Amino acid sequence: MVEYKDILAAYERVKGTVNKTPIMTSRTLNELTNAKIYLKCENFQRIGAFKMRGAYNTLSQLTEEQRKKGVIAHSSGNHAQAVALSAKLLNIKATIVMPNTSPQVKVNATRDTYGAEVVMCENTIEARHSTTQDLIDKHGYSLVHPYDNDNVIAGAGTAAHELLNQVEGLDMVFGPVGGGGLISGTSIAVKGFNPNIKVYAVEPKNVDDAYRSIESGQIEKNETIKSIADGLLTNLSERTFIIIKKNVDKIITVSEQEILDAMRFIWERMKIVVEPSGACSLAGVLSDQIPIENKKIGVIISGGNIDLNDFFNLIQNKIKRG
């Protein structure tokens, strides 16, 4: 299992390359909650999400042999761009398997901006896995799993490690949970730093596999994947389940409306762009399930990559009409 020292070691590896992201606060938010809330803004991370930390920590530890052969990941989201950029920075060949339903803009960013090879496949879990496995069999690529990987988890934990050193005296830390990589790394960093600090994982009610897994004591699966928090649709792995059982004090579920309201608050009042998954942890803070009065609270904002086409098209049309 990943240990606190692994996160400290990961931090030494990534700190010259990933952004030390800022902490943002809001008077209005603090007055509203009667608490002190510190957002750890991984939306300002390179590629716009915390995923850069885990990907870079993993790729920078590959053997010479593995580097020569290259890496592979399947993702249409932040992990794809994180692996592609990390590979580019380390001069490693990266192949990204993406479903053929991916927005062209994401395909282009991964291929053109970060120089990865993009391989399209059918939009099913089976197709993704078999396409990836075929390429691994053929070329000997190293798979970089988005969360079921100790180095990815240790890298993800460096965000909380920074947070703990940026803000003194935190009472609790909230982070989102999807596959569980970020909350695993976060919880190890927090409990290693000070076991008295509470760690809360926040999950959309619509995809509450982690909540149900803790309730039942075994890994549960999501039956639907309908949530605006599109970074949190995946199920836990054995690896992340074990860490979460041990370290996370409670899993809180939030409705789609709560996620949207938190996101809107962050955009309108704090003027920063966060994606729905990134706003989930603040939705948990605001959901009144944990007493927060007079507490100092760290909140991991996981990313800010959201499709703004519709919004900018509205303004574009306004300009055209004159």
Nearer to a copy of itself, 39 or 172 (CB): 39
Which candidate in 36, 40, 75, 76 is catalytic?
Answer: 76
Minimum gap (Å) between residue 309 Cβ and a copy of itself: 10
Which candidate in 36, 40, 51, 106 is catalytic?
Answer: 51
Minimum gap (Å) between residue 316 Cβ and a copy of itself: 7
Give the DSSP H or E segment for 40: strand 36-41
* Residue 26 among the catalytic residues: no
How is residue 274 written in tokens? 């966060």
Give the DSSP H or E segment for 127: helix 125-139
Through-space distance between the first and last CA atoms of the chain, rounded to whole angstroms: 60
Nearer to a copy of itself, 146 or 276 (CB): 276
* Residue 76 among the catalytic residues: yes
Minimum gap (Å) between residue 279 Cβ and a copy of itself: 11
Cα separation, 59 vs 72, in Å, equals 11
Pick from 79, 76, 72, 75: which is nearest to 52 by CA?
Answer: 79
Backbone dihedral angles phi then psi of residue 65, each to the nearest 5 degrees: -60, -50
Minimum gap (Å) between residue 125 Cβ and a copy of itself: 22
Whether the Cβ atoms of residue 228 and residue 261 lie closer than 8 Å to each other: no
What is the edge-to-edge ordering of all strands in the sheet holding 142-143?
117-121, 94-99, 71-74, 142-143
Pick from 299, 308, 282, 55: which is nearest to 173 by CA?
Answer: 299
Q: CA distances (Å), 206 to each of 22, 231, 235, in order?
A: 31, 13, 12
Nearer to a copy of itself, 194 or 316 (CB): 316
Minimum gap (Å) between residue 304 Cβ and a copy of itself: 4
Nearer to a copy of itself, 129 or 264 (CB): 264
Pick from 220, 291, 219: which is nearest to 250 by CA?
Answer: 291
Nearer to a copy of itself, 8 or 90 (CB): 90
Q: Which residues bind a copy of itself (CB under 8 A)?
A: 22, 24, 27, 43-44, 46, 48, 226, 228, 256-257, 260, 264, 267-268, 270-274, 276, 304, 308, 310-312, 314-316, 318-319, 322
| Residues tagged active-site | 51, 76
